[in-house]
Chains A and B, each alone.
Chain A
């Protein structure tokens, strides 16, 4: 149990295009999901907290209009990187915790984004 999936697992796009990444909790419901980015050999950096049915909360320094988040249901959150540039190339990971669980969170496998 407690499986989180992400799609796509990797994506290459041209500069200026938008990319959507999906995060799904497959066997549990999550009112809150979290989006991270990770650069090589660095720890996870929280970008935003995604709340089902309400606006996401972006961390300081993360542009909310560039990194759009939609939490459409208790099992799906999407991150859209708008007008992507090469500096947005990174590893994006989502996590979720069950609404019936404690504080533990489960992570997706990650999405590797390369912007040319």
Chain B
């Protein structure tokens, strides 16, 4: 069993839809949770960063962490074609010296 599970998609939605992306994990020691967006042939871009459980909102993006269920989500409201990319969840035990554990990434296509 992988430490972090993520549906690879692809996920295709019409423009304006609400997108829900999810990851599950097995290690209860993870404390920091991140979502990255990666366009083709580019480095990942940090979208959302959450410490422990709870919700965080930034513009059209909302990240949720449920540590009791070992489940994290990223919601994208009013999706745009420019949101088409691969979305990677990542988590770590804590601190900048600890390596990230990634999900496989979900490929999202927002159709105009």
Q: Contacts A43-B88, A43-B103; is A103 near B98 (CB within 8 Å)?
A: yes
Q: Contacts A43-B104, A107-B36; is A96 near B44 (CB within 8 Å)?
A: no
Interface size of A by CB at 8 A reads 30
> How far in angstroms is the closest Cβ of chain B from A106?
6
Is A102 in contact with B88, judged by CB distance below 8 angstroms? no
Interface size of B by CB at 8 A reads 27
A98 to B32, CA, bound (A): 14
Count of chain A to chain B residue pairs whose CB atoms are closer than 8 Å in the complex: 74
Q: Contacts A43-B104, A102-B49; is A32 near B96 (CB within 8 Å)?
A: yes
- A8 on interface, CB distance cutoff 8 Å: no
Q: Contacts A34-B99, A43-B102, A107-B36; is A102 near B43 (CB within 8 Å)?
A: no
Q: Enumerate chain A residues within 8 angstroms of B60, measured Cβ to Cβ.
A: none
